[in-house]
Structure 1
Amino acid sequence: MGLSSFFKNLFGSTKESVTELATNAENTFEQAKEAATPYIEKAEAFAEETIEKVKEVSEPIIDQAADYAEKAKDTVSEYADKAAKVVNDVVDSVKEKTASIGVSEAPETIAETVFDESEKSVTEVEEIADEAADKA
């Protein structure tokens, strides 16, 4: 019987110790939570203030970027038109020279390829400028 009472005492005191530790842990957690609340509120306020400051500082930069993108769009469009004219002149010249040789399909293929690529460039620049303007 001495052995069974030993185990009862051992496990009984362990159960009490675990219960006491759980209660202490819960109390400590509540205290830590209460102590951290002001710091969490301060961190939230700081984050909000920082976000507002970043917005204020970045707004003129975004506006400038939108203006620059619009200017770039205009410039590229102007040069794309000029490049298309030059390419068309080159294609016409190639057509004239190859017509005398007897090759008729090559100039059309060249003209289509060059024209398609210049159109893509203008479209891409316009899309980029529009995206920049939308972000502003």
Structure 2
Amino acid sequence: MGLSSFFKNLFGSAKDSAQDLAVQAETTFDQAKETAAPYIEKAETFAEETFAKAKEASEPVFESAVEYAHKAKDLVSEYVEKASESISDVVDSVKEKTSETVSDGKPTIVENVIDVSESTKETDDIIEGGADKE
């Protein structure tokens, strides 16, 4: 029986020790939470103030960016219109020149180029036959 009471005391005291440690840990956690609460509030306040300052500082920059974007859009629109008109004028000019050339009735000159550096049997026969006739 001594052995069984030994184990009961051993495990019973371990159980009691574990419960005591759990209670102490919970108490310590609650104290840490209470101690940290003001710091957490300060951090939240700091974050909110910093965000507000950043927002306030960025508003003029954002407004300027929007303004410049509108100006750039207007300028690009002008140049697109001018480029479109210029391209249209060029296309019309090419159409006119093409139709003038076609409607002139002028004969089209085609130049045929033949490489006569190589002599063929047929050309030799023609040359020889022509020489016999003379």
The TM-score range, normalised by the shorter chain, is 0.5 to 0.7
Counterpart residue identity of residue 44, structure 2: E
* Structure 2: gaps spanning 5 or more residues: 103-134
User: Mapping of 1:1-136 within 5 angstroms?
Assistant: 1-96=1-96
SS at match of 1:54: helix
What letter corresponds to residue 66 of structure 1 in structure 2?
V
**TM-score w.r.t. length of structure 2:** 0.68
Q: 1:97 to 1:9 in 2, by over 3 A?
A: farther
TM-aligned CA deviation for residue 41 of structure 1:
0.7
Identity %: 66
Question: How many pairs does the alignment contain?
Answer: 102
Match of 1:121 in 2: none
User: Residues of 2 paired with 1:101 and 1:22: CA distance?
Assistant: 104
| Higher-helix-fraction structure | 1
Distance in 1 of aligned mates of 2:94 and 2:8 = 106
What CA RMSD, in Å, does the superposition of the two structures yield over aligned residues? 2.1
Distance 2:84 2:20 in 1: 85
Shift of 1:97: 6.0
| 1:62 partner amino acid | F
Q: Which has the larger radius of gyration?
A: 2
Deviations 1:43-90 (A, max 9, x none): 111111111111111111011111101100100000111111122223
Unaligned segments of structure 1, at least 5 residues? 103-136
Specify whether residues 97 and 24 from structure 1 end up closer, same or farther in structure 2 by C-alpha distance, changes over 3 A only. farther
CA deviations on 1:14-53 (whole Å, 9 max, x unpaired) are: 1101100110010001000000000011011111111111
